[in-house]
Amino acid sequence: MSNGTPFFLGAEKAQGLANYPHARLAPTTTTHRTIYVSGTSSRRGDGTWDGVTDNADGSWTLDVKAQTAAVLRNLETIIQGATNGKGGLNNIIDATVFLIDLPANYSGMNEEWNRVWPDRADAPARTTIGVKELPNPRLLVEIKCTVVVEAEA
């Protein structure tokens, strides 16, 4: 049995640093398609990151709100691409948030999350996990999610 169809954003968008697709579309049922979106960060297609300011001394200032907003925008782009524009953030049914320094960053991440989903009844199920590190020290947040959209006729 196949594990579905991979979806990749175009070369001008941020690409994975290892071998994984931006999303994986589960085999279509008669009415719905499930998409499993890989962990997504605030990285841009040019290799830079939203929510990262380079300081003169070589250090960085990291902004969890800006990074979370960018992660959500990147997820929207992936979902729209994988669904030919028919899906979006409103189709996420489950999300896992990986967050560096949970006590320091949880409220800022939640603030951006709540901008997208101001009504709890419309928000996806969510788990937030505090992690020691992400694939780049500039990253504070990464989100993976599961999306369900209507199957194309």
Distance, CA of 134 to CA of 43 (rounded, Å)? 12
The answer to whether residues 99 and 131 touch, using CB atoms and an 8 Å cutoff, is yes
pLDDT score, position 17: 57
Tokens of 137: 């020290």
Which residue stretches of the chain have pLDDT < 70? 1-4, 16-20, 27-28, 153
pLDDT tens readout for residues 55-73: 999 999 999 999 999 999 9
Domain covering 5-150, topology: 60s Ribosomal Protein L30; Chain: A; (3.30.1330)
Question: What is the DSSP annotation of 23-91?
Answer: EEEPPP-SSEEEEEEEEE-SB-TTS-BTTEEE-TTS-EEE-HHHHHHHHHHHHHHHHHHHTTTS--GGG
pTM for the model: 0.84
Domain residue limits, the chain = 5-150
Q: Crossing angle for the helix pair 64-82 and 102-116, nearest 10 degrees?
A: 50
Question: How many other CB atoms are there within 10 angstroms of residue 22's CB atom?
Answer: 23
